[in-house]
Structure 1
Amino acid sequence: MPGPIAILKEGIQSYDSLVPHVLSTVQLTISGFFVGTFLGLMIAIVLHLIPGFKEAFYPLLILSQNVPIIVLAPLLIIWFGFGVLPKLMIISLVCFFPVTVSALDGFRQTPTELINYMKMAGATKSQLFWKIECPYSLPSIFSGLKISATYSVMGAVISEWLGAKTGIGVFMTLASSSFRTDRVFVSIFIIMLLSMFFFGLIVLLERMTVKWKSKGVK
């Protein structure tokens, strides 16, 4: 087991070789996170607005999370090759579920008296959603985004394990196969820092957006 000083020294010495791997993982993480978030929000909106869809498809969403991603990932590589597409699919599968569940829960948290008031004022279903339900669901949606932001980094690393030329997952695999335990720990700490960084960005965006939306609702 390498000590903290040895890990820190190895991280400094490997800085030049680490930078391309970190940048590759960050780019892949951001792309997969946005795709997964978009899919999660779209699925939540469809299940919420179309009657009967939630009862029919919500169990399927739960079942989709029971398939181990480490088992599904090799199949995606076989079906779609070693390009970017299977990697984005892996990250999206990890990210979309927390966003979907959080958004659906948020849509149900809208005060009933506000919905009844809007209906008495002649608001349409679309106006109810965009002016009342959507703003009130933002805190729940951001809770899902925080979870997805941390999951997306791990999803990117898993996808890089299975076939990539650059990335933290590749760096970790090479370090592990050459018994460079210090480099493995450097990779682990970088993954942790990236997860904390993306989580912090979502928290910052939440403070800006929810505050602005709450003023608009009032």
Structure 2
Amino acid sequence: MRHLRNAAATVVPPLIAAAVLLMVWQTVSATGIVDPSVLPAPSHVAGQGIGQWDVLIRHTAPTLAATVLGFILSITVAFVVASALDFSGTLRGAILPLLIVGQTLPLIALAPLVVLWFGFGLLPKVLLVAFVTFFPMVVGLMRGFASADSDAQYLLRSMGAGRVRVFRTIRLPASMPSFFSALRISITYAVVGAVFAEYAGAVSGLGVYMQSAKNVFRTDLVLAAVAVSSVLTLLLYLLVVLIERAALPWHRIDVGERT
């Protein structure tokens, strides 16, 4: 019962806020305060989206593929890089500033370059998604490594354990809560990165669909595609949360006890 109350307290307020926002939007559009061609009513957007459902699903598939593959690539590279930086202070001092500088590169300038270098296929989208989501995961892992219990590490070293054994036994498990927090942040960027990459150059995807709808002044279809991308982001976020709860059940219990 307590879990149901907690779940309701988490889910109900944003649902109410979303319902109020949609009602205000519907009222503004219906009363003509804003031109419906500029801001169509949500009921109209939903109707047009349902009418274009097969086309939207066809364009969602490549966006989802680029998002998932880019996210997997980002996780893999982030783990390797963060582990290497954790093992070497010299390497950390040399590479970390470069990673920070890399995050200052504007995606709007980088996306066309990646498309020019790698073409209009899946690869540039995967690379851009990985680029967008890579840095938060590296930072999350490094913070997690640093949060490991120092006493437990000293104890293990006093028993003759090497750095790899200490890393595998103490530092890596300690990094998981921080890592999953970074995953939750990164997955919200992943779909946006994929859509933006499709804007820069692609033959299919939600970004291509939005651009085509924008070119014929179909604001309703643009908003329908935005709604699909938002739902896709929420589903991927929920998947990350479910994986976190399955992988770190003790962390969920600790959080519940503290609250």
Q: What TM-score bracket applies, with the shorter chain setting the length?
A: over 0.9
Q: Residue 70 of structure 2: which of 8, 32, 35 is its match? A: 32
Distance 1:87 1:54 in 2: 28
- Aligned partner letter, 1:160: E
Distance 1:213 1:147 in 2: 18
Bigger shift: residues 154-163 or 77-86: 77-86
Structure 1 ranges of 4+ moved more than 4 A: 212-215
Distance apart, 1:50 and its partner CA: 2.0
Distance apart, 1:212 and its partner CA: 6.7
Distance 1:81 1:149 in 2: 25
Distance apart, 1:180 and its partner CA: 0.4
Distance 1:12 1:87 in 2: 27
- Matching residue of 1:157: 195
Distance 2:197 2:160 in 1: 50
Distance 2:170 2:252 in 1: 11
Asked if the contact 2:120/2:203 (under 8 Å) is kept, the reply is: no
Distance apart, 1:83 and its partner CA: 2.2
Paired residues for 1:8-23 under 5 Å: 8-23=46-61
Bigger shift: residues 125-134 or 204-213: 204-213
CA RMSD of aligned residues (A): 1.5
The number of residue pairs the alignment matches comes to 215
- Matching residue of 2:214: 176
- Matching residue of 1:120: 158
Asked if the contact 2:59/2:205 (under 8 Å) is kept, the reply is: yes
Distance apart, 1:102 and its partner CA: 0.4
- Matching residue of 1:97: 135
The Cα offsets for residues 45-78 of structure 1, whole Å up to 9 and x where unpaired, read as: 1111123111111111000000101101111112
Q: Residue 60 of structure 1: which of 85, 98, 105 is its match? A: 98
Structure 1: gaps (5+ residues):
none
Q: Residue 226 of structure 2: which of 188, 194, 213 is its match? A: 188
Paired residues for 1:67-106 under 5 Å: 67-106=105-144
Distance 1:214 1:117 in 2: 27
SS in 2 for 1:165: coil
Distance 1:146 1:74 in 2: 27
TM-score for both structures, normalised by structure 1: 0.95
Asked if the contact 2:56/2:225 (under 8 Å) is kept, the reply is: no
- Aligned partner letter, 2:47: K
- Matching residue of 1:145: 183
- Aligned partner letter, 2:139: V
Higher relative contact order (CA 8 A, sep 6+): 1
Distance 2:192 2:251 in 1: 31
TM-score for both structures, normalised by structure 2: 0.80
Distance apart, 1:198 and its partner CA: 0.8
Distance apart, 1:181 and its partner CA: 0.5
- Matching residue of 1:133: 171
- Aligned partner letter, 1:175: A
